[in-house]
Amino acid sequence: EIVLTQSPGTLSLSPGERATLSCRASQSVSSSYLAWYQQKPGQAPRLLIYAASSRATDIPDRFSGSGSGTDFTLTISRLEPEDFAVYYCQQYGSSPWTFGQGTKVEIK
């Protein structure tokens, strides 16, 4: 089973700042089969990024994904108030599909 480790656990930033979230896999994720989700309190996760760098439908271009192999990054170029949430990565290259433990982006 591929273990995904996200860092940092919590990111304290101000609106307008850049957020860089990391997702590291315990073994290579085949074909960059990695997705990112955003989850707000009391809500279901929302798909942001798939295939490591492809934005999902209606996702603003301030969200971008990059990486391959074992190291992946989600970048939010300029934080908007609605971006403060928990972010999860998910790999779907090797069964069972697994999620990271999440990174909370909070207002500083």
User: Alpha-carbon distance 94 to 82, whole Å?
Assistant: 32
Q: Is 41 an interacting residue with respect to another protein (CB under 8 A)? A: no
64 interacts with another protein by CB under 8 A: no
**Owner of token pair 């492809």:** 54
Task: Out of 17, 47, 62, 73, name the contact with another protein by CB under 8 A.
Answer: 47
Contact 84, 22 (CB under 8 A): no
Q: What does 36-71 look like in DSSP terms, one character per residue?
A: EEEE-TTS--EEEEETTTEEPTT--TTEEEEEETTE
Residue 81 within binding range of another protein, rule CB under 8 A: no
User: Pick from 23, 45, 63, 72: which binds another protein (CB under 8 A)?
Assistant: 45
Binding of another protein by 70 (CB under 8 A): no
> Which position among 85, 87, 90, 105 is part of the footprint of another protein (CB under 8 A)?
90
Residue of 50, 72, 84, 87 that binds another protein (CB under 8 A): 50
